[in-house]
Chain A
Amino acid sequence: MAVNGAVTWLRRAGEMDGYGLSASDTEEVHVLAVDDSHVDRKVIERLLKITSCKVTAVDSGRRALQFLGLEDEKEASNGFDGLKVDLIITDYCMPGMTGYELLKKVKESSVFREIPVVIMSSEKVITRIDRCLEEGAEDFIVKPVKLSDVKRIIDCMTTDLRGGINKRKLRDEGEDRSSSSPTTVDSPTRRLKMTSLEEHVFSSKK
C-alpha cells in the first residue's frame, strides 16, 4: 500500500516540477464518494468513472472517516499515501453522520483540510447551501446528479491544479502575479485567483 502510494506521489510531484501538465494530461483524480443510497452510489460511481476518476464509494460518513484514517478523532499517519484522496463528494442527508458533519470533520483536520469537499442534496435549501460553503465546501450539487455537474466539478479541480502550477512558473520568471499564500478552499477566494490567472492568459495572447 505504502509502495503504491509512494509511486503515485512521486509521479505527481515529478509532473508538477516539470510543469508537465498538458491539456491532454490524464493524471487520475481519486474521489471518495459518500452516499447512503445504493442507487445514488452506483450512479455517482459511474459518473466519476466516465470523467476518468478513480472512485472509492462508501455508504456513510463514518466509513468515509475510517477510509481517510480520521476515525475516533485520531489523525492519520503518513502511511496513508496509498489511499490519497483528491476530492470528497458527499450526500448531505445521511443517517448517523450528515454530509455537513463529515465536511466539518475534514476541515478540522490538519492533514485533510485541503481536500476539496462537494456536497450533494436533493433539497435546494439556500441556508443549507450557505452553511456548507461557509464551512469550506467547494461546491453544492442539487440531486439528481447529472454528468454535466460532475464534469464541471472535475474540470474546476484540474484547472485549479494547473492554475497553481502556472502561478508558480510566473513567480519563478520574476512576475509577481499573485500572493504566495497557500491555496485556501474558500470558494470566492479560489474564484478570484482563477480570474487573475485568466487575465494573464488573455493578455499574453495579444
Chain B
Amino acid sequence: MRRQLAIMRQSLFDQGYLDEQFIELEELQDDANPNFVEEVVTLYFRDSARLILNIQQALERKPFDFNKLDGYMHQFKGSSSSIGANKVKAESTLFREYCRSANAEGCLRAFQQLKKEYATLRKKLEAYFQLARQTGPLETASRPK
C-alpha cells in the first residue's frame, strides 16, 4: 500500500495536477500535525466550492459583471496556488484574462474547463488522502524504535 500511495502521489506531480507548493505544505507536517495537508486541502475544497457557486450564479446574470467575476477568480486562484493546485491555477489565470478583455464567450468556456479540472483534482486528492489515512498507521507500526 505504501508503494501504491507513492505511485499515486508521484503521478499527481507528473501529470501536472500538483506543483512544488504542495511539497512545501507536506514539509510542514510532523508528528504533532500529521494531517496538516489534508486539513488545508479540505478547507480549500470547502471555500472553492462556494466560490465556484458564486461564479456560476454571476455567469447567469447578463450582462456579465467582469469586475466581480475577476474578483471571485482572484480569490479562487490565490487559494489554488497556496495548495499547489497547478492545473486549476492555470485555468483560473485564463479565466481572468478573458474577464480583463471582457470576453464573455471566453469566460464561459474557461469556466467549463476550470470546473472539469477542479472536479478531477478533487477526486484524485480525495482518493489520495483516503489511501494515506489507511497507510499511515501501518508506517508508524513498522518504524523501528
* Residues of A bordering B, CB below 8 Å: 36-40, 42-43, 46-47, 50, 93, 122, 143-147
Asked whether B24 lies within 8 Å of A39 as measured between CB atoms, the reply is no
Q: Known A43-B82, A143-B81; judge A37-B47 contact (CB<8 A).
A: yes
Encode B23-52 as 1/0 by CB contact (under 8 A) with A.
Answer: 011011000010010011001100100000
Q: How far is the CA of A144 from the CA of B81 in the complex (A)?
A: 6
Residues of B within 8 A of A93 (CB): 74, 78
Asked whether A42 lies within 8 Å of B43 as measured between CB atoms, the reply is yes
Interface contacts (Cβ under 8 Å), in number, total 51
Residues of A within 8 A of B74 (CB): 93, 122
Asked whether B28 lies within 8 Å of A39 as measured between CB atoms, the reply is no
Residues of A within 8 A of B24 (CB): 144, 146-147
Contact of B33 among A38, A46, A143, A145 (CB under 8 A): A46
Name 21 A/B residue pairs within 8 A (Cβ), A-sorted.
A37-B78, A37-B79, A37-B82, A38-B79, A39-B43, A39-B44, A39-B82, A40-B78, A42-B39, A43-B25, A43-B28, A47-B28, A122-B74, A122-B77, A122-B78, A143-B81, A144-B21, A144-B82, A145-B82, A147-B24, A147-B28
Q: How far is the CA of A43 from the CA of B25 in the complex (A)?
A: 8
Q: How far is the CA of A42 from the CA of B40 in the complex (A)?
A: 7
Residues of A within 8 A of B28 (CB): 43, 46-47, 50, 147
Residues of B within 8 A of A47 (CB): 28
> Number of B residues contacting the other chain (C-beta, 8 Å)?
21
Asked whether A40 lies within 8 Å of B79 as measured between CB atoms, the reply is yes
B83 contacts A by Cβ under 8 Å: yes
Q: Known A122-B81, A144-B24; judge A39-B47 contact (CB<8 A).
A: yes
Asked whether A38 lies within 8 Å of B82 as measured between CB atoms, the reply is no
Residues of B within 8 A of A50 (CB): 28
